[in-house]
A and B are shown apart, each in its own frame.
Chain A
Amino acid sequence: MSAGAGPGTAAATTVAAATRAERRAGWLFSAPALLAIALFFVLPTIASLALSLTDFDIYALADIGNLRFVGLANYSALLGDPLFWTALRNTLWFVALGVPAIMLVAFAAAVLVNERLVAWRPLWRAVFFAPYVATLVAAAVVWKYLLHARYGLLNHALAAIGLPPVDWLGDPRWAIPAITLFVVWKSFGYSMLIFLAALQTVPRELEEAARIDGAGWWSRLRHVTLPAIAPAAGLVAVLAVVSMFQLFAEPYVMTEGGPAQSTITVLYLMFDQGFQWWNLGLGAAVAVVLFGCILVAALAPAAALRLFRGRGG
């Protein structure tokens, strides 16, 4: 409360100026949503931590009396499980391949849609965004057949330019890049919109001035456009990292985690442990590890930047 603020407009925004009816309405209006969030979001999230310290399994599901507190045993079991390391490595590969690819394609699409020389720009914008709206499972089914080794269109296109066919989803070396290709197609439209919003804040005059000064297309991009969209690029990167950490439906539909577990992700492992084998305690430990990864990946860039700036200044 800003007690020192004078009367009039400043006071109108403080709690002190509110009538009793308004304060009561504030709580009444927000209570249903807050209650739902507490019951169905916050409570389960915290309970995940607790659950990960127990041996909750199919026996405990039948009779809660079978539940035991096991401390960090689930975590040490995970660290000793090769499948966990495979899932983590696969997930990191998805992040490493997918994030730069999404940023690059989304940026190119945004530049194209923002370029005044291009005709029918709203049409292209809608087309680029359409895959993001499409139902993930349906699109994954379509891509499963597009990537098929024998009758898939992609191999057919490769053959047309003289390249040998690739067993995209059947070869452990190619399955991650192939699914990443699908994810980039599916999601670049969203990142494109964020880039587009940033590009539209670049003043046309600045662009014109650079042009008059004789700066070429590349040099204008490098010195005018890129600095202006740097914050948006950071946002796109963080959102892409977070979404790449949460891949599940893509491998579930396209490869069932295979071949040879080469596309099992951390979230897939949580689903398998929790709902296929009913090892809910172990599954919860996977969820907590995943949360830790996402938190680090989302907060690290900002923290690093702050540290870097702190030293510089």
Chain B
Amino acid sequence: MKARLAMTALAALFAAITLAPLLWMVAVSLMQPGEAGRFPPPLVPADPTLAHYRALFANQGMGLFLLNSLAISTLATVLALIFTLPAGYAFARLRYPGRDTTVRVLLALLLVPGQIGMLPLFLELKALGLVNSYAGVLVPWLAGIVGIFLVRQYALAIPLDLVEAARIDGASEWRIFRHVALPVMRPAIATLALFVFLGSWNDFLWPLIVLSDHDLYTLPVALAALGRERSQDIELMMAGSVVTTVPVLVLFLALQRQFVGGLLAGSVKG
């Protein structure tokens, strides 16, 4: 009993340290201007205020950046699903010449970090007229190899007999994909959607490169720019951080089981 209490206390202490920066972020975002700069640094706001949030939305265009982030993450998720689901299914359950070679090549490509090709990709998109647009930010999410393998992993669980029976019944390949495979792959769809949404929401380097128009900035790009102008304004910066990261933290907490399960399926088995 004593050991149980001690071990739980240890876990709680570890968890408190882990959460401290995020809790402090919320606390400071509610403080009066200049309050966080006092000594000793206060942990809770003496007189909580939402003034910094109002200032962000009224003067800094935070509402627009929030909309940009929402639009880009939603579009990235939809596009990634459209491109990835049929491919992952084909690699797992359709038989055609060249399939196994393709899968081996893609597996090797997993070792190539996306940043390596960023300079030529920028030039390529510039030639296509896609630089400084939503489309430019979205392009890398069409080519998600990790997502294809995640879907393939789940699609391998579709019983071959089920597919074969549908074929004998005269169903077209598209119909089989749509009405036999997709229902079985529902967990894969949810996991992939969650990954792409969070990934595109948190993404920084590529939107920083491809977006030059201030009005198109996503939240992380806008927050980094704000930090260079208003770095002395701690309370405002913390409010900006809350607006940027709380939506994804809430999403994670709501869908925690899905997320952790999907990550384990994708990273360890895949």
Contacts and interface: CB of A to CB of B under 8 A. Distances in A.
Contacts of A144: 227
A298 interface: yes
Nearest to A137: B220
A24 to B, nearest CB: 8
B224 A253 contact: yes
Interface residues of A, number: 101
Question: In the complex, which of the residues A48, A134, A150, A295 has the most CB atoms of chain B within 10 Å of its own CB atom?
Answer: A134
Interface residues of B, number: 99
A21 interface: yes
B58 interface: no
A135 B94 contact: no
A124 B224 CA distance: 30
A128 B28 CA distance: 22
Interface of chain A, helix or strand or loop or mixed?
A: helix
A242 B110 CA distance: 12
A290 B172 CA distance: 47
A287 B256 contact: no
Contacts of B139: 36, 40
A83 interface: no
Contact of B173 (A25, A267, A275, A287): A25
B260 A185 contact: no
Interface of chain B, helix or strand or loop or mixed?
A: helix
Interface string B72-88: 00000000001110110
A45 B112 contact: yes
A26 B18 contact: no
A176 interface: no
Interface string B245-267: 10011001100100110011001
A22 interface: yes
Interface in A155-204: 156, 185, 190, 193-194, 197-198
A51 B264 contact: no
Interface stretch (B1-9, B45-53, B184-192): B1-9
A142 B248 contact: no
Contacts of A112: 7, 10-11, 14
Contact of B11 (A34, A118, A130, A274): A118
Contact of A117 (B3, B245, B252, B263): B3
Nearest to B124: A44
Interface in A273-302: 274-275, 280, 283-284, 287-288, 290-291, 294-295, 298-299
Given A42-B109, A185-B18, A248-B115, 17 more contacts: A17-B95, A22-B94, A23-B94, A26-B94, A29-B90, A29-B173, A33-B148, A39-B143, A40-B142, A41-B140, A41-B143, A119-B8, A120-B11, A130-B249, A138-B241, A193-B263, A287-B119
Interface of B: 3-4, 7-8, 10-12, 14-15, 18-22, 24-25, 28, 36-41, 82-84, 86-87, 89-91, 94-99, 102, 106, 109, 111-124, 139-140, 142-143, 145, 148, 160, 164, 167, 172-174, 177, 198, 201-202, 204-205, 209, 219-221, 223-224, 227-228, 234, 237-238, 240-242, 244-245, 248-249, 252-253, 256, 259-260, 263-264, 267-268
20 contacts: A18-B96, A23-B97, A24-B96, A37-B143, A44-B121, A112-B7, A117-B7, A134-B248, A135-B201, A138-B241, A139-B21, A150-B39, A153-B24, A156-B40, A193-B263, A253-B227, A270-B115, A287-B116, A287-B117, A299-B111
Interface of A: 12-15, 17-19, 21-27, 29-30, 32-34, 36-37, 39-48, 50-51, 108-109, 112-113, 115, 117-121, 123-131, 133-139, 141-146, 150-153, 156, 185, 190, 193-194, 197-198, 232, 235, 242, 246, 248-249, 252-253, 256, 267, 270-271, 274-275, 280, 283-284, 287-288, 290-291, 294-295, 298-299
